[in-house]
Chain A
Amino acid sequence: MNGSIPSEFLPVLLILIGTVFSFLSAVGLIRLPDVYTRAHAASKSATLGVLFALVGTFLYFLWEEGYFSIRLFLGIFFVFLTAPVAAHVILRSAYRANVELAEQSVQDDLKEVLKKE
C-alpha cells in the first residue's frame, strides 16, 4: 500500500454513491404507499447501491493490492442478474394473491389480460 491519492479517490467515491443509493432505497421503502411501488424502490436502487459498493471494493483491491478478486467480479454479475428477477417473482406472487394497488392508481391492464385467459 503506497497510499496514492488518485487510485483511492474513485473507489471511495463509488462506495459513497452506493451507500447513498442504499439509503434512498430504504427511504423509498418507508415512504411509498403500496407493495408495487415499494418493490420498485427496493429492487432498483438497492441493486444499484450494492453494485456501486461492489465495484468500488473491486477497484480498490485491484489498484491498491493488485488482487483481481474473481469472487467480487462474479458477485457483481450475479447481483445484477438476480435482484430484478427476485423483485419480479415477489411482485408476481403478490399480484396473484390479490394484493390491492394504491388508492391513487388509475389503470390495471393486467387484470383484463388475466380475466381473458
Chain B
Amino acid sequence: MRKPNDVIIRGVTKVVVVIIFTFAINLFISGHHYPGGGFIGGLAFSSGIILLFLTFDMESVRKNIPVDFKVLAAIGVLIAVLTGVGGMLLDAPFLSQSFGYFELPIFGKTELATAVLFDVGVALAVIGTSLMIIMSIGDDR
C-alpha cells in the first residue's frame, strides 16, 4: 500500500501537542482555587498522547515515551493512599489534609497544600487507566 503524504497533520500536531500539555498542566495546577484538578488535567494530558497516537504510529510513540501505563496507574493509586496514611502518622485522621504559606525563591509567597500530592496520584491514575484502555483496544496483538 502506498504511504500517504500527511505532512500537514504531522507538522501541526507537533505544535498543538505542546499547547495541550501546557493546558493540562494549567488545569492541574489551578485545581485548588479555580475549575480544574487532577481528573480533568489527567484526561487532557492523555488526550494529547492520544493525538500523538493518531498522528504517528503507536510503536514510535511508545518507544519515545517508555512508560508502562499499568505501572503508572498503580503508582498513582499508591501515592493517593500514601498521602492519606501520611496524615495518620502525624496523629490525625486518615486523609486529613493541611496547607501552609512558604517563601519560595522565584515564586514568592506560595500556598503549598498536601492535597496537591493527592491530586498527583489521581492524575497519574487517570492517565494510566485511560491510556491503558485506549492501547489495549487499539493494539492488534
Contacts of A44 in B (CB 8 A): none
Top 4 A-B residue pairs of the complex, sorted by shortest distance between their CB atoms: A85-B12, A78-B19, A89-B9, A82-B16
Chain B, range 118-134, C-beta contacts under 8 Å to A: none
User: A88 vs B19: C-alpha distance in the bound complex, in angstroms?
Assistant: 20
State whether A74 touches B22 (Cβ < 8 A): yes
- Residue interface mask A73-117, B partner, CB < 8 A = 1: 010011001100100110000000000000000000000000001
A70, closest chain B residue (CB): B26
User: A114 vs B90: C-alpha distance in the bound complex, in angstroms?
Assistant: 70
User: A70 vs B36: C-alpha distance in the bound complex, in angstroms?
Assistant: 14
State whether A88 touches B16 (Cβ < 8 A): no
Give the shortest distance, in Å, between A5 (CB) and chain B (any CB): 30
B20, closest chain A residue (CB): A78
State whether A82 touches B23 (Cβ < 8 A): no
Contacts of A77 in B (CB 8 A): 19
| Given the contacts A88-B8, A89-B9, A117-B2, A81 and B16 also touching, CB distance less than 8 Å | yes
